[in-house]
Amino acid sequence: MGQVLGIALGGKGEPMNGPVEHPPRAYQQRLSTWWWLSSWHYLKFMLRELTSVFVGWFVVVTLLQIRALTSGPAAYQAFEDWLKSPPLLILNSISFLFVVFHSVTWFNVTPKAMPIRMGGKRVPDLLIVLPNYAAWLVLSAAVAWIVLRG
């Protein structure tokens, strides 16, 4: 079975005679690096985690925009020209898609991350998710109105 010979020490640190039995180690199957591709739930989780990089990219762009705004009209024009370059347009388009994915998946997981109970009963998931989408829609409409009006 799982016997391994060794020396066991007695109460005073003296060797005891006879074999010592060690419990066998459990077999641990090695996981592939790509284990998360085996299930849509795992893939969605990993993609949501990856999208944090793109959220961070938008934070950096926003900080660069604020710096350009405080540096004067010439600096802001240079910043806008930089944003209009094809590599940045592609990167920002991809980033936008990932950030939308991040938002949608986060809103959908909110009831599991933050279960709300009222009167001893759990509030239905839809009543937690819908206000998030409503706030997102209202804020997006407000930003679009500010950007597009002038």
Residue type for position 150: G
pLDDT given at position 9: 55
pLDDT given at position 13: 56
Rounded to the nearest integer, the mean pLDDT of the chain is 86
The alpha carbon dihedral of 31, 34, 37, 43 has a sign of positive
Smallest CA-to-CA distance from 107 within 124, 125, 88 is with 125
Over its C-alpha atoms, the chain yields an Rg (Å, rounded) of: 28
- List, in sequence order, the alpha helices (H) in 4-85: 40-70, 73-83
Kindly indicate the confidence band of residue 115, based on its pLDDT and cuts at 50, 70 and 90. Answer: confident
Does domain 36-132 correspond to CATH entry 3.40.640.10?
Answer: no
Q: What would the mean pLDDT of 133-139 be, rounded to a whole number?
A: 96
pLDDT given at position 3: 43
Give this prediction's pTM.
0.68
Kindly indicate the confidence band of residue 21, based on its pLDDT and cuts at 50, 70 and 90. Answer: confident
Higher pLDDT among residues 82 and 13, named by residue: 82
Are the beta carbons of 68 and 75 closer than 8 angstroms?
yes
pLDDT higher than threshold 70 for residue 137:
yes
Residue 41's φ and ψ, nearest 5 degrees, are -65, -45
Q: Name the percent of the chain lying above pLDDT 70.
A: 86
